[in-house]
């Protein structure tokens, strides 16, 4: 693995360049400086690792030498000590409590809920309507995660939760960008907005938790959290811990999936040949009826579209760890305290693993590519013990939702739509995703039309 440090500012190091254009800068660094790029963010040492082998060592082989990185810990005011951030025995114990809700059989039982919510959504859509598809995806995925994991309708809490989410994302981004982090307790306008947003989310989730406390237990993750007990019979989780896990599952369980679906619609709109092939597959398999879990094996192209979308627009575009001890990674020493950054956005665009990496080619996944790739050449859900607990949930949800939506509507970008990726903790469309809906009553052409010319900023060209 090669290693070279790019020139940086004498005081800020590489912080300003990284902050200005994280996706572009990380990509250029990996291409020009190699698989192992030492960086400095003010006083913080960092290392960008872009080779699957080194990434595997950090996430799996030597994972005990690392903890979650500082940027993720900045999300602690929102996520508390939930699964995404917690470490050590808290993480082990809580993951064991939550894990059964993500077993194969449990996930299979969520499929009808997912289809019902997607059908409800699409039933409201109208031919010729222009709407922000990203907001629609946020809404439907929030409702789905709430019902699947907490056994209740998000209902009227949805608007409150969505407004709060937007503020939380914005607040996280500015805290990430700030070189000095003012304590959230200071009454700055941004901090007040943040606290109001948190109160909004906590209000919605608090209502869900207290309703369950008053009713009978159910076979879902919320009851598992409430009922978890120590060997002496006392509750294993206090109120704060329950709130943190519920907030983490709610936030991590819908924002990423919503982003992935929004980017998928965008990519399909830019590639009418892929859109047409998907529609043909859906028409042949479903013939207009809603999909079910049993249909997914007959919808390989639909699943390939999703994998290819997560390759190019990975919702978790960067994963970070902090070295707890000096540790050798790919033959070189990483000092204690160093932040190791690993970017699916960068690695998924590496031509050593993907031919024509910038092109959206769902069919590339058709001939066993996933099995041929080295581990961690494709890692949208991370890896190792801290990999995404919701990967199976998300993959099924995305396939079912895409099948529901693309069976009934085709989407094109609204005229003048400004599409830009905003890389914060996730990769979301900065200005939303305004699209025009076209009801699919007409038969799908059998000869695919030619590829669209790229019409978005260079780094989003696919």
Please list the residues that pair with 131 across neighbouring strands: 435
Out of 115, 388, 396, 411, which residue is the one contacting ligand HEM (CB under 6 A)?
A: 388
The window from 234-242, 250-258, 416-424, 434-442 that contacts ligand HEM (CB under 6 A) reads: 250-258
Residue nearest to ligand HEM as judged by C-beta position = 390
The single residue listed with the structure tokens 């299979």 is 108
Among the listed residues 281, 381, 411, 437, the single contact to ligand HEM using CB under 6 A: 381
What's the closest the beta carbon of residue 397 comes to ligand HEM, in angstroms?
Answer: 7
- Asked if 56 is part of the footprint of ligand HEM (rule: CB under 6 A), the reply reads no
Return the bridge partners of 333, or none.
328
Residues 85-114 that bind ligand HEM (CB under 6 A): 95
Smaller CB separation from ligand HEM, 5 or 387: 387
Taking CB under 6 A as the binding criterion, the range among 201-209, 255-263, 357-365, 453-461 that sits at the site for ligand HEM is 255-263
Shortest CB 249 distance to ligand HEM, Å: 5
**What residues numbered 190-209 form the site for ligand HEM, per CB under 6 A?**
none
Instruction: Residue 22: name the closest of 352, 425, 457 by CA.
Output: 425
Work out which of 50, 256, 262, 304 binds ligand HEM, going by CB under 6 A. Answer: 256
**Owner of token pair 């050590």:** 88
Paired tokens of 248: 């983490």
The correct pick among 37, 237, 282, 389 for binding ligand HEM (CB under 6 A) is 389
Q: Whose CA is closest to 224, among 106, 94, 97, 104? A: 97
Which parts of 273-312 interact with ligand HEM (CB under 6 A)? none
Q: What is the rounded (10 degree) CA torsion for 188, 193, 199, 201?
A: -140
CA contacts within 13 A on the Cβ side of 131: 20
Contact call for residue 248 and ligand HEM (CB under 6 A) = yes
Q: Does 225 engage in binding with ligand HEM (CB under 6 A)?
A: no
Question: What is the rounded CA–CA span in Å between residue 10 and residue 68?
Answer: 27
| Per CB under 6 A, 382 contacts ligand HEM | yes
Q: Site map for ligand HEM, 58-87, x if CB under 6 A?
A: ----------x--------------xx---
In a 10 Å sphere around its CB, with 0-12 CB exposed, 13-18 middle and 19+ buried, how is residue 86 labelled? buried
6 belongs to the binding site for ligand HEM (CB under 6 A): no
How many residues lie near ligand HEM (CB under 6 A)? Answer: 25
Candidates 21-29, 222-230, 376-384, 450-458; binding stretch for ligand HEM (CB under 6 A): 376-384
Residue 62 or 272: the one with the smaller Cβ distance to ligand HEM is 62
Q: Are 437 and 412 in contact (CB under 8 A)?
A: no
User: Which of 74, 225, 249, 341 touches ligand HEM (CB under 6 A)?
Assistant: 249
Structure token pair of residue 252: 């991590």
Site string for ligand HEM, 394-413 (x = CB under 6 A): x-------------------
Nearer to ligand HEM, 257 or 407 (CB): 257
Residue 221 as a binder of ligand HEM (CB under 6 A): the answer is no
Which spans of this chain sit near ligand HEM (rule: CB under 6 A)? 68, 83-84, 95, 145, 248-249, 252-253, 256-257, 260, 315-316, 319, 380-382, 386-390, 393-394
């Amino acid at each position: 693995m090669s290693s070279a440090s790019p020139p940086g500012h004498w005081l800020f190091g590489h912080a300003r360049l990284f902050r200005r254009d994280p996706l572009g800068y990380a990509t250029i660094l990996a291409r020009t400086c190699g698989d192992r790029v030492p960086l400095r963010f003010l006083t913080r040492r960092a290392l960008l690792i872009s080779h699957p082998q080194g990434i595997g060592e950090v996430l799996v082989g030597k994972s005990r030498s690392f903890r979650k990185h500082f940027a993720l810990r900045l999300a602690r005011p929102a996520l508390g000590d939930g699964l995404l951030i917690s470490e050590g025995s808290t993480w082990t114990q809580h993951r064991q409590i939550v894990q059964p809700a993500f077993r194969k059989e449990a996930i299979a039982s969520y499929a009808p809920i997912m289809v019902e919510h997607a059908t409800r959504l699409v039933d409201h859509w109208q031919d010729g309507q222009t709407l922000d598809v990203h907001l629609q995806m946020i809404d439907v995925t929030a409702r789905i995660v709430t019902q699947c994991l907490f056994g209740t309708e998000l209902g009227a809490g949805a608007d409150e939760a969505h407004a709060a989410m937007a503020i939380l994302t914005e607040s996280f981004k500015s805290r990430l960008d700030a070189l000095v982090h003012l304590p959230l307790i200071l009454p700055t306008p941004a901090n007040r907005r943040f606290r109001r947003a948190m109160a909004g989310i906590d209000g919605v989730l608090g209502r869900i938790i207290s309703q369950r406390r008053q009713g009978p237990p159910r076979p879902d993750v919320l009851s598992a959290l409430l009922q978890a007990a120590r060997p002496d019979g006392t509750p294993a989780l206090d109120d704060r811990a329950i709130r943190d896990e519920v907030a983490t599952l709610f936030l991590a369980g819908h924002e990423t999936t919503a982003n992935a679906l929004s980017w998928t619609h965008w990519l399909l709109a830019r590639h009418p040949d892929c859109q047409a092939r998907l529609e043909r597959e859906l028409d042949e398999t479903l013939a207009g009826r809603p999909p079910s879990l049993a249909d997914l094996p007959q919808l390989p192209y639909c699943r390939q579209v999703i994998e290819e979308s997560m390759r190019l627009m990975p919702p978790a575009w960067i994963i970070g760890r902090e070295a707890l001890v000096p540790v050798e990674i790919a033959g070189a020493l990483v000092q204690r305290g160093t932040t190791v950054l690993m970017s699916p956005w960068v690695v998924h665009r590496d031509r050593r693993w993907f031919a024509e990496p910038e092109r959206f080619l769902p069919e590339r996944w058709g001939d066993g590519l996933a099995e041929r790739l080295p581990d961690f050449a494709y890692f949208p859900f991370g890896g190792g013990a801290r990999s995404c607990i919701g990967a199976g949930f998300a993959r099924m949800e995305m396939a079912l939702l895409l099948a529901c939506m693309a069976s009934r509507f085709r989407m094109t970008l609204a005229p003048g739509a400004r599409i830009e990726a905003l890389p914060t903790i996730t990769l979301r469309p900065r200005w939303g995703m305004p699209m025009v809906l076209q009801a699919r009553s007409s038969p799908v052409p059998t000869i695919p039309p030619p590829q669209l010319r790229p019409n978005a900023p260079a780094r989003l060209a696919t």
